[in-house]
Amino acid sequence: MVAEWDLDALSETAELIASELTTNAITATRSIGSVYPVRLWVQSDYSRTLITVGDSSPDPPRRLGPAGDTEGGRGLLLVEALSSRWGWHAIHQRGTTKAVWAELRDGGASMSGTTQGSGRVAGEDPWPG
C-alpha cells in the first residue's frame, strides 16, 4: 500500500511496523480469549504515514525487553526504533477496545525519538478520524 502511494523509501519499514503491531494485537486478543478480529488501518498525507492496529484487549501495550534467547519480546522496541513516534488509545468500535499506532515521516525514522507510549485517550491520537 505505501509503495503504491510513491512512498517507496518507507515501504519496508511500514511493512515491518505493521507486522509487529499486528502480531502484538493477535497475541493480546488471544490472551483474553476474544473472537473479535484484529483491524489494520494505514493512512498517509504524503509526508507522514500512520499505521494503526486495533484489537479487543483492554490492556495497554507493554514494551518488554527480550529475555535471553527468546524469539519474542522485541516488537515494540522495534516499533519505537523505526517510527517517528508511537502510542495507543482506547476506542470502542465493533469489539475493538484499543488501537496502537506508529507514525512514519517521509525522510527517516526516529526523527524526534519521542515515544507517546504512556497512554493516550480517544481524540488525542495524532490523526483523529
Domain limits of the chain?
3-120
Closest CA to 101 of 113, 78, 85, 77: 85
Task: Say what the pLDDT of residue 23 is.
Answer: 94
pLDDT tens series, the chain, 129 aa: 566 666 677 888 999 999 999 999 999 998 888 778 899 999 988 889 999 999 999 899 988 776 666 666 688 999 999 999 999 998 888 888 899 999 998 754 433 333 344 333 333 555 655
The secondary structure element, H or E, covering residue 100 is strand 96-105
| Domain 3-120 fold | Heat Shock Protein 90 (3.30.565)
Q: How many Å apart are CA 101 and CA 51, to the nearest integer?
A: 5
Tell me the chain's radius of gyration from C-alpha atoms. Answer: 14
Task: Say what the pLDDT of residue 93 is.
Answer: 82
Task: Say what the pLDDT of residue 109 is.
Answer: 45
Task: Say what the pLDDT of residue 111 is.
Answer: 36
Task: Say what the pLDDT of residue 85 is.
Answer: 93
Task: Say what the pLDDT of residue 68 is.
Answer: 61
Q: How many Å apart are CA 44 and CA 38, to the nearest integer?
A: 20
Task: Say what the pLDDT of residue 114 is.
Answer: 37
| pTM, 2 dp | 0.76
